[in-house]
Amino acid sequence: MKNIIIIGSSSDISISFQALLDLKKISFYTISRSESNKYNHLTVQNYINDTEKIISFVNKIKNPTIIFFNGYLAENRDFYEPSLDEIALTDYVNFQVPFLLTKSLSINSSVDKFIYISSIASVKPRRKNFIYGMSKNKLEKSLKFLNLKSYLIIRFGKVDTKMSINHTNAPFSISSKQAATTIFNKLDKKGYAYGNLGVHLSRFLLALLPQKVINKF
């Protein structure tokens, strides 16, 4: 198993993934804004402002695989309309942080592979969470211009976490533990992967359906 660095280690999916690695006796490193006394953890105040600090930490680890768990979702129309600050934070967390860190790390370190936790919402925006979907879509498209050695984007549907707690149930929903297992099983893949077969098939359905139908359902 390659050296794994987890960025955004306090998310629910990330916590479940770390528990799985512990269960399998696989060592890993973590980076987040949360404090930790673990020797293999780096605490940052701001991911972008602390880029040099992150690069220094990563360069001590041989040919790592970096997994970005960063995610933020504040919209849930018709139940909740995000504020301007929440809209800005959505773009910052879902796009700016992983993109800018990837760009810097790909130039200044020997990262073997980058992995990104994305969403089926990136395929085609819908009214309920189009800002979130657009931020994920922007990240996916922008990665193509970085000439990365190797990367994987894993698109999930709804994962039952604190971030989605007030959202209605959706087809092909999974738990954070199931999402963690999916990530672990797909570590060696490249390109695009999906949380399960249902989410994969829904990608083609979203591409075919008119926007009005997607917004309704």
Whether residue 197 has pLDDT greater than 70: no
In this structure, the number of other CB atoms found within 10 A of the CB of residue 196 comes to: 16
CATH architecture of 4-216: 3-Layer(aba) Sandwich (3.40)
Read off the pLDDT of residues 79-98 as tens digits, 9 standing for 90 and up.
889 999 999 999 999 999 99
- Alpha-carbon gap, residue 165 to 162, rounded angstroms: 5
Instruction: Give domain limits for the chain.
Output: 4-216
In a 10 Å sphere around its CB, with 0-12 CB exposed, 13-18 middle and 19+ buried, how is residue 186 labelled? middle
**Residue 208 or residue 123, greater confidence:** 123
Question: Residue 210 has what pLDDT?
Answer: 62
Question: Residue 38 has what pLDDT?
Answer: 75
Question: Residue 167 has what pLDDT?
Answer: 58
